[in-house]
């Protein structure tokens, strides 16, 4: 099968703000934060300049992959209200410029990571870029309602990259951090997809609520949320963290589960300003920031002798 690249259109000259927008800066804050937390929670130490370089490379690589995602999806983005004002669908940029920008950032991030930090971290970064830009965006997203379940792997790599930048090897702890984000992604995204369902249906993307329906999606959100409870606490169970992390992870995960139940049973009050799925989506972001934040707090506390 031949995959044709989207062609160029007449576009207005883009400025730096459009290039910055191509990196999906708001979404990538959490990607960068989880990468930083992976780096700070890892055993051992790293030269601050090299540590900063590692995080910069995760940011540049994630931004490059996001630019490639938008280069490929310019036509789809034009058909959805949420994405129509992005630089490409709004006609502020040439498609080829977005593609070249994405390739340049991606390549630079991997090479700099390899030379300055290490080639294992660089290889995992390269895999995550290809995973997001090619496996998820080009291959899975238009083909299967399991797109984000499998595609969730792309966004789960950053803490592992941060960890590996310090330790130089992949052990059970970074694998667990990967698994937490991997199983967090379906409830995170399907909660959103439940209230923007019609947008994806319009452009023919087989997102779960469109293909399997709302009831099935709601049940699956609950199933992943249940799984997150033991999984998020697993770093504590295996002795990789102290109780500061473990107890907070359990509290956060039960709160997450508590917000998933009304989504699963469609319980929303008459005149409820914020639907349960909107509430769950918003909390999913707070959840991951807090979970990875407390991972670092736990490690710092242990270093200062505060551990239960
Ligand atoms: C395949 C996996 C994922 C999909 C399909 C997805 C999809 C989305 C979508 C469509 C939005 C709405 C905002 C927008 O228009 O860009 C969003 C928001 C967000 N996502 Fe995800 N996401 C995924 C994974 C992740 C991961 C792994 C992270 C970070 C670890 C993340 C962090 C965020 C954040 C922070 C926001 C809020 C951005 C804002 O405030 O506008 N997402 N996500
Ligand atoms: C280091 C590295 C490469 C990290 C990548 C991180 C990653 C995969 C994040 C995924 C988050 C994201 C923006 C999904 C949007 O899905 P979409 O693109 O389908 O959403 P859209 O409908 O808004 O375009």
Hey, how many other C-beta atoms are within 10 angstroms of the C-beta on 17? 10
Sign of CA dihedral 287, 292, 295, 299: negative
* Residue whose structure tokens are 């995959």: 3
Q: What's residue 4's pLDDT?
A: 44
pLDDT (tens place) for every residue of the chain, 308 residues total: 344 444 455 566 778 999 999 999 999 999 999 999 999 999 999 999 999 999 999 999 999 999 999 999 999 999 999 999 999 999 999 999 999 999 999 999 999 999 999 999 999 999 999 999 999 999 999 999 999 999 889 999 999 999 999 999 999 999 999 999 999 999 999 999 988 877 888 899 999 988 998 899 999 999 999 999 999 999 999 999 999 999 999 999 999 999 999 999 986 555 566 689 999 999 999 999 999 999 999 999 998 887 66
Give the predicted TM-score (pTM) of the model.
0.93
Closest approach atom of ligand 2 to CA 125: 1
- Cβ atoms of 34 and 158 within 8 Å: the answer is yes
Residue nearest to atom 1 of ligand 2 (CA): 62
Q: Residue 129 Cα, ligand 2 centroid: separation in angstroms?
A: 10
DSSP annotation string for 109-163:
HHHHHHHHT-HHHHHHHHHHHHIIIIIIIIIITTT-TTHHHHHHHHHHSHHHHHH
Assembly ipTM: 0.95
- Cβ atoms of 38 and 162 within 8 Å: the answer is yes
b/e for 274-286, b at 16 or more Cβ within 10 A? Answer: ebbbbbbbebbee
Q: Residue 189 Cα, ligand 1 centroid: separation in angstroms?
A: 7
Which residues line ligand 1 at a C-beta cut-off of 6 Å?
Answer: 24, 26-27, 29-31, 34, 82, 136, 148, 151-152, 155, 181, 185, 188-189, 192, 285, 288
Which residues line ligand 2 at a C-beta cut-off of 6 Å?
Answer: 24, 27, 31, 58, 61-62, 65, 69, 73, 83, 125, 128-129, 132, 141, 154-155, 157-158
Q: What's residue 266's pLDDT?
A: 80
CA distance 42 to 162: 8
CA distance 75 to 93: 13
First-to-last C-alpha distance (Å) of the chain: 57
Which residue, among 161, 138, 151, 136, has the nearest Cα to 186 in the 3D structure? 151
Q: Residue 305 Cα, ligand 1 centroid: separation in angstroms?
A: 36
- Ligand at minimal distance from the CA of 150 is 1
Residue nearest to atom 4 of ligand 2 (CA): 62
Q: How distant is the alpha carbon of residue 296 from its chain centre?
A: 19
Q: What's residue 59's pLDDT?
A: 98
b/e for 102-141, b at 16 or more Cβ within 10 A? Answer: bbebbeebbebbbebbbebbbebbbbbbebbbbbbbbebb
- Cβ atoms of 263 and 194 within 8 Å: the answer is yes
Kindly state the tokens that stand for 130: 């290809």
CA distance 101 to 68: 8
Longest alpha-carbon distance in the chain: 62
Contacts of 147 (CB under 8 A, 6+ apart): 136, 140, 141, 205, 206, 207
- Cβ atoms of 55 and 35 within 8 Å: the answer is yes
Closest approach atom of ligand 1 to CA 156: 27
Closest approach atom of ligand 2 to CA 73: 24
Q: What's residue 166's pLDDT?
A: 97
CA distance 126 to 95: 23
Kindly state the tokens that stand for 93: 């940029």
What's the DSSP call for residue 241?
S
């Amino acid at each position: 099968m031949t995959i044709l690249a989207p062609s160029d259109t007449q576009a207005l000259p883009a400025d730096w703000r459009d290039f910055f927008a191509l990196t999906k800066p708001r979404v990538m804050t959490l990607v960068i934060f989880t990468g930083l937390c992976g780096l700070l929670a890892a055993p051992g130490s790293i030269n601050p300049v090299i540590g900063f370089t590692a995080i910069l490379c995760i940011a540049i690589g994630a931004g490059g992959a996001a630019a490639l995602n938008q280069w490929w999806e310019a036509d789809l983005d034009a058909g959805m209200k949420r994405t129509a004002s992005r630089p490409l669908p709004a006609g502020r940029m040439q498609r080829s410029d977005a593609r070249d920008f994405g390739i340049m950032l991606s390549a630079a991030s991997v090479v700099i990571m390899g030379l300055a930090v290490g080639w294992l971290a660089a290889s995992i970064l390269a895999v995550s870029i290809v995973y997001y830009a090619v496996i998820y965006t080009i291959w899975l997203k238009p083909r299967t309602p399991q797109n984000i379940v499998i595609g969730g792997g792309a966004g789960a790599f950053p803490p592992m990259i941060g960890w590996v930048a310090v330790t130089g090897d992949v052990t059970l702890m970074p694998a667990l951090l990967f698994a937490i984000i991997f199983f967090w992604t379906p409830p995170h995204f399907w909660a959103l997809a439940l209230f923007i369902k019609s947008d994806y249906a319009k452009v023919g993307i087989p997102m779960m609520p469109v293909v399997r329906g709302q009831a099935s999606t709601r049940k699956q959100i609950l199933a992943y949320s249940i799984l997150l409870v033991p999984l998020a606490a697993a770093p504590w169970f295996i002795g990789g963290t102290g109780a500061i992390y473990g107890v907070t992870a359990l509290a956060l995960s039960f709160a997450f589960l508590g917000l998933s139940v009304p989504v699963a049973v469609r319980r929303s009050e008459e005149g409820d300003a914020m639907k349960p799925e909107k509430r769950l989506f918003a909390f999913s972001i707070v959840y991951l920031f807090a979970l990875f934040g407390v991972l670092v707090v736990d490690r710092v506390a242990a270093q200062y002798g505060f551990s239960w």
